[in-house]
Amino acid sequence: MISVGIIGGSGYTGKNLVKYCSQHPFIKEFQVYGLNSANKSILELFPEFKGIIQNRIIRDINLISEYHDVYFLALPHGEALKYVPHLYNIDKKIIDLGGDYRLDSASDYENWYGKKHTSSDLLSEKLYGLADLSSLDYSNIKLIANPGCYPTAALLSLTPLVKYFSKNIFSISTSAYSGTSGAGKTAREDLLMSEMDGNAAAYNLNTHRHQPEIEQMLNKNGFNGNYSFAAHLLPIAVGIYSTSFIYLADKLKADDIADAFQAEYKNSVFLRMREKPPQLKWVVNSNFCDIHFSVKDNNIIVTSAIDNLIKGASGQAVQNLNRLFGWEDYLGILNDGAKDVSIY
């Protein structure tokens, strides 16, 4: 049984961490830390949890106890740099939902995030926790960088393809779509309902911070060709939809592609291959990632859908916690277990 600290548990992604920690069979207790919400109660903030979780007071983020075994950090980028080095040095396990430890290079972090990295020595110590991948080694890991929401959707659909066929791939491009909760709970004029309703637009073209994160993982899995990424905002609150176009040198058989997904995800409870393109409503409020591919001539189109706040953040973070301790993937998330473990 472990004790957990949730630093930033009063935000959008923190909310589901609170829920999953409260229903996890091996978490004996957890404490939430916040900034402006300090000294409020959880039920004041999240009244929908009445009758579901035990109420407790949110503690001041400046008074974090060293008592916990594991710390989730769900803070705006740059903020985790204040807490992670100390927690690391006192031998705690850390799962950071933000972007501060995802990139391997401090200069890439500086270029894309516009900030100096103050604990760059830890960038090589972390595990990039794309939790469903078959090859991740959690032994001796103290720091997990939980992937971003767009990278989770894009990489889960692309990794088997680059891992098995990268020599045959010329280039890849991804067009991805997010709901407004991807930006967190801080008020922004451009995200007002009166601005967003009936609207959609691309944003941060060639400057989105998730682009180098995706490219880093594509490179590590053998693909070094051209990659481009375009993020779009949809007039919905929750969900990420990713469509990637893969241009091949030689034709591939659909069966061989299906085998690559099967080989990568055969042990993954939260991956579902679909016979037609997934819909957001199949995955919102869940930790599932639904994927479909279509191949014709020298092109593959692969689509995927996730809940950005769960699979793209807190659900995957709890999966990472489970993997860190060698527990079943679904604990805290689906306590009754998965009813069907085949991905097809």
Ligand X SMILES: NC(=O)c1ccc[n+]([C@@H]2O[C@H](COP(=O)([O-])OP(=O)(O)OC[C@H]3O[C@@H](n4cnc5c(N)ncnc54)[C@H](OP(=O)(O)O)[C@@H]3O)[C@@H](O)[C@H]2O)c1
Q: Which is nearer to ligand X, 180 or 343 (CB)?
A: 180
**C-beta separation of 119 from 84 below 8 A:** yes
Q: Which is nearer to ligand X, 36 or 194 (CB)?
A: 36
**313 contacts ligand X (rule: CB under 6 A):** yes
- Name the residue among 104, 139, 97, 146 with its Cα closest to residue 121: 104
Angle subtended at Cα 150 by Cα 148 and Cα 155, rounded to the nearest 5 degrees? 90
E strands, 59-206, are 59-60, 70-73, 93-96, 127-128, 143-145, 169-178, 201-203
The residue sitting closest to ligand X, measured at its beta carbon, is: 11
Residue with tokens 């103050």: 118
Under rule CB under 6 A, which residues in 183-212 are in contact with ligand X?
A: 184-186
- Name the residue among 291, 35, 47, 24 with its Cα closest to residue 184: 35
* Cα separation values, 152 from 22, 45, 52, 212, Å: 25, 28, 29, 13
**76 contacts ligand X (rule: CB under 6 A):** yes
Minimum CB separation of residue 80 from ligand X in Å reads 7
The pair of three-digit structure tokens given for residue 65, joined into one six-digit string: 């106890």
Q: DSSP letter at 273? A: E
Which amino acid would we find at residue 50? K
**What DSSP letter does each residue of 287-343 carry, written as one string?**
S-EEEEEEEETTEEEEEEEE-TTIIIIIHHHHHHHHHHTT--TTTTTSTT--S----
**332 contacts ligand X (rule: CB under 6 A):** no
Minimum CB separation of residue 60 from ligand X in Å reads 9
Minimum CB separation of residue 250 from ligand X in Å reads 36
Under rule CB under 6 A, which residues in 238-277 are in contact with ligand X?
A: none
Looking at 4, 10, 269, 319, which residue binds ligand X (CB under 6 A)? 10
Minimum CB separation of residue 204 from ligand X in Å reads 13
**176 contacts ligand X (rule: CB under 6 A):** no
Minimum CB separation of residue 36 from ligand X in Å reads 4
Write the binding mask 26 to 65 for ligand X: x where contact by CB under 6 A, - elsewhere. Answer: --------xxxx-----------------------x----
**77 contacts ligand X (rule: CB under 6 A):** yes
Question: What sign has the CA pseudo-torsion 6, 78, 144, 286?
Answer: positive
Q: Which residues pair with 227 in a beta bridge?
A: 172
Stretch of residues binding ligand X (CB under 6 A), selected from 5-13, 83-91, 200-208, 283-291: 5-13
Stretch of residues binding ligand X (CB under 6 A), selected from 70-78, 164-172, 254-262, 289-297: 70-78
Catalytic-labelled residue, pool 84, 87, 123, 149: 149
- Taking the C-alpha atoms of residue 309 and residue 286, their distance in angstroms, rounded to an integer, is 9
Reply yes or no on whether 21 is catalytic.
no
- Taking the C-alpha atoms of residue 316 and residue 309, their distance in angstroms, rounded to an integer, is 9
Looking at 5, 12, 159, 213, which residue binds ligand X (CB under 6 A)? 12
Q: Which is nearer to ligand X, 36 or 342 (CB)?
A: 36
Minimum CB separation of residue 102 from ligand X in Å reads 10
Looking at 5, 11, 129, 278, which residue binds ligand X (CB under 6 A)? 11
Looking at 20, 70, 83, 98, which residue binds ligand X (CB under 6 A)? 98
* Cα separation values, 190 from 203, 210, 279, 322, Å: 12, 20, 26, 37
Which amino acid would we find at residue 118? T
Interaction site with ligand X (CB under 6 A): 8, 10-14, 34-37, 61, 74-77, 79, 97-99, 148-149, 181-182, 184-186, 308-309, 312-313
Q: Which residues are catalytic?
A: 149
